Amino acid sequence: MGKKFKSLYPEYYDEFKCIGGSCEDSCCVGWDIDIDKITFRKYYKVQDSEMKRMFQKNVHNNEESFSDDVDYGKVKLKSDKRCPFLDCDNYCVIHSKLGEDYLSNVCTCFPRITNLVDGCYERSLDVACPEAARILLLKEDGIKFKESEEVIGKHIISNQVDTKAKELKNSLAKYFKEIREVSIKIIQNRNLDLSERLYILGEFINGLEDESESNFNNISKFIKNYDINTAEGFYEKNSLYFMLQIDFFKKMISLLNVDKEVDSALFKEYTKQIIKSFNLDKEEVEPRKYIKIFEEYNKKYMDEYTYIFENYLVNFIYNNMFPFNEKESIFDGYIMLLMRYSFMRFYLVGKYIEERKDSKEDIVRFIQIFSKTIEHHRSYLTKSMRHIKEKEFNNIEFAKTLL
């Protein structure tokens, strides 16, 4: 039995089991498939002649590799972006013929995410997987966490931080765990509307940056005493913000370049639908008439299924090292989280305009497709952050318009 390590994870984590060919989507379609060095070498030593030929034909060295443990090699995808090792029933022939030990690190681990924080292995699931999305997003009582000591099997460290490191002595990252804990408490505070929670989160992150610049030694006290129920300049809903969102997300869709840079046929259909719904292909968009639709959708579905969006946000905050997931500032991390949430709602409202109905199952399915498309896009999030900074939208006033 291997050595046990301290582990932190959401309670939902143990519920996940890959459903293989029964999955309505596939992590083996549309994505690059990376092969670590150890697995790569095992492929060229197999005795099975048929599998040996398949490996020689479809697995090659990756000249742009960044880690031997992740992408030493790559699988050459078929013209339809399917992995050549998928059979007609969407099952992996490597797994069925050679066993799980012959799967690469990436193929074994997804959708499991592992971060290392102060020596503790923090594990979670990626909502880009349909089964993972159903399990974690549909927790009506919210996401709860637990600690244990366990043997950590095959894994890839996505992010790691040692908050006691000397180089972080004068950095907000020194307080990473405390900041994340308060952030999650804010988002899970069901005494408030979700928009109010998101606004307070922005005030908290903004306050942290201000405090770090004026009196860094006061950071610990600021975090400890922060009131998660209210904030100065409290957010008030303004329906006119929906008008501003339409103009902003029209630009966000153009940056996404769906026709050329997105493989998901379903996401392309979603995009065509909302372009039609909001008349985004017209020179002049008349957003005022959509205010009633936004309010109607919020009342019918956002309010009833708030827990789905809360769970998405909490899971993102936990497994993406929020708010340190953007390079330049923690407020950038907040703005990009808010952009994701608001962009999802924009798509859902656009779908509602056409279909006049929605359900928790359809919302979860959309969030999964959205996450798989947006979070794993090669350049979209970088282009989005650049646009936001160029327009000087990285501030709390702009954040209000996205709520």
What are the distances in angstroms from CA 185 to CA 68, 126, 331, 369? 38, 21, 18, 27
Residues 180-211 have pLDDT tens digits of 999 999 999 999 999 999 999 999 999 999 99
User: Does the pLDDT of residue 285 top 70, yes or no?
Assistant: no
Question: CA 337, 341, 346: angle at the middle one, nearest 5?
Answer: 140
CA-only gyration radius of the chain, Å: 22
Is the Cβ–Cβ distance between 316 and 337 less than 8 Å? yes
Residues 287-303 have pLDDT tens digits of 677 888 988 999 999 99
pTM, two decimal places? 0.93
Cα end-to-end distance, the chain, whole Å: 50
User: Does the pLDDT of residue 263 top 80, yes or no?
Assistant: yes
Residue carrying the six token digits 């719904």: 277
- Strand 73-75 versus strand 120-125 pairing type: unpaired
